[in-house]
A and B are shown apart, each in its own frame.
Chain A
């Protein structure tokens, strides 16, 4: 194994059971993943299945969370929409993350004029308000799934790149990396074998943060009517469709909104545990 990997392994890992909050977080994330993978199979009814004769029926045995504005089962729709919400967020984050990570590590390793120029470009890209840019881009280009993923990926990439660069530079300064370079290893080899193992933890934190951001932005877009379009549905759209029920006192819009909130809280709890307070602070500062 390389010196990088050895050093990474030498950093103490938490061996005891994770603290209670982190356990809650892990449980939430696990449930979320199950819903994302198996949601449609677990749902009792179809996503579009009409159950009730009237809009917003009250909760009952057939409708555990009540019905929505067209008399459909909220719980079933929640399960059917889970893969869309979670899958889209994961997809968009992964796209942005992979691009950002590559650029960030590369520029940290290459340094010199290329680094300055790339940093400069990153600074500009990061100055744009992420939500507004996503809004405008989708208003202009449409709300198809590829565009949603591409737009969010474009928003994530420069931020991830900046964090990756900072992390890589920190690690780069360490002796074992210098040694590897002195041995004549290629840029790619250094990135993969020496830097990446130590960067795993802060980058995992960053990934988690980016996922929560994706979930929140995508649901806000759907809430405004610009995200996922019907008949495909995600949690944000469910909130939007059922808003009229709010004024009738029916909380049908509250349930998908709570689902979103609970999921992001869970992810944040896990991130806090993985990264420790310092890891989070670094990425938070650089992410803004």
Chain B
């Protein structure tokens, strides 16, 4: 078992390394454009040369990479080009905000999807199951911005109940909650369907075991079977599902934060791209990609550990 976990960790580490290479290569690939992009029309030959030197763009690319990676690991994320301010300072607040958004979404989605998934599994192929199945099919097909736009139109424009966009700096808890409602709702719609389907699938898989059939034959009620017999064994796969969707949250959050002007990491990423603010872009991109990799890695490890067949394989 230890070797299994170690193996996955090793794979994770290699993945992170490759990811850092990708992020670095992708963003620093075209130095000529970079300097023009950043300097705009203040780009004279002198200012461009100064910027090239400051960013270290004149050195061989592998040297640049190692310096960058080295600094990163030491916690020096560089200086934002647009604001002339250390990247870590910019990240601080945004990271917190995205974390709050993610947490709020999870608090809403997990219990809800668990409940719905269990319900479907308890009465598979029944009317409830089929209708939830169809509805979730619809929901996973929709782009996040569609859901976001509809919610904004309904709640912020037509009914003027909630603020259309989130505001930087939350003054009170009530303020925070009001600002979070629509973004959380949008993310929930996006993830709920996936989670319900996968919870249901995991539960059904577990419920195929013979001991469940035994319990049924012995006359145990549905709820007892689902909750007492199946759920504990399905917990592993379900946690796997949750971790996988956490990863999805990371990338899904980008569009949602832009629609609602929510000051988080996703929006920072899009802003950094728009401003061609390389150091900021690299830092945010790497953090988000790393978080995704870590969550999927966790999900995978949990899945393997919870699968007895894999756990005890020699």
A-side residues, CB < 8 A to B, are: 21, 120, 123-124, 127-133, 135-137, 139-141, 212, 216, 219-220, 223-226, 236, 239, 243, 246-247, 249, 251, 253-254, 257-258, 260-261, 264-265, 267-269, 272, 281, 284-285, 288
Report B124-151 CB contacts with A as 1/0, cut-off 8 Å. Answer: 0000000000100110111111100110
Q: How far is the CA of A133 from the CA of B285 in the complex (A)?
A: 9
B164 and A226 within 8 A (CB): no
Binds A, one of B68-76, B168-176, B215-223, B287-295: B287-295
CB pair A136 B26 closer than 8 Å: yes
B185 on the A face (CB < 8 A): no
CB closest chain-A residue, reference B255: A220
| C-alpha spacing A44/B291, complex, angstroms | 48
Known interface pairs A135-B269, A224-B255. Does A258 touch B27 (Cβ–Cβ under 8 Å)? no
Residues of B near A264 (CB, < 8 A) are 141-143
* Interfacial chain A residues near B285, Cβ < 8 Å: 132, 136
Answer whether A128 and B146 are a contact pair too, CB < 8 Å, given A135-B269, A135-B273, A224-B254.
no
* Beta-carbon contact of A132 and B142 below 8 Å: no
Task: Write out the residue numbers on chain B whose beta carbons fall within 8 Å of the beta carbon of A253.
Answer: 149
Say yes or no: A136 contacts B27, CB within 8 Å.
yes
- Structural contact, A131 and B251, CB atoms closer than 8 A: yes
Kindly list chain B residues whose C-beta atoms are within 8 Å of the C-beta of A249: 153, 157-158
Q: Is the interface of B mostly helix, strand, loop or mixed?
A: helix
Closest partner residue, chain B, to A240 (CB atom): B145
Identify B141's interface contact among A124, A254, A268, CB under 8 A: A268
Q: Which of B253-290 contact A (CB under 8 A)?
A: 254-255, 258, 269-270, 273-274, 281, 285, 288-289
What is the chain B residue whose CB lies nearest that of A268? B141
The CA of A131 and the CA of B285, in the complex, are separated in Å by: 11
Q: A127-B296, A267-B141 are in contact. List 20 more A-B contacts (CB 8 A).
A: A124-B18, A127-B12, A128-B289, A128-B293, A137-B26, A139-B281, A140-B30, A216-B143, A220-B255, A224-B258, A239-B145, A246-B149, A246-B153, A247-B164, A254-B149, A254-B150, A260-B143, A264-B143, A265-B142, A269-B137
Q: How far is the CA of A141 from the CA of B29 in the complex (A)?
A: 8
Which residue, B142, B164, B247, B252, has most C-beta atoms of chain A within 10 A?
B142
The 8 tightest CB contacts between A and B, nearest first, are A140-B26, A264-B141, A129-B292, A257-B146, A131-B251, A139-B273, A265-B141, A261-B142
Distance A267 CA – B14 CA, assembled complex (angstroms): 36
Contact B140 A124 (CB under 8 A): no
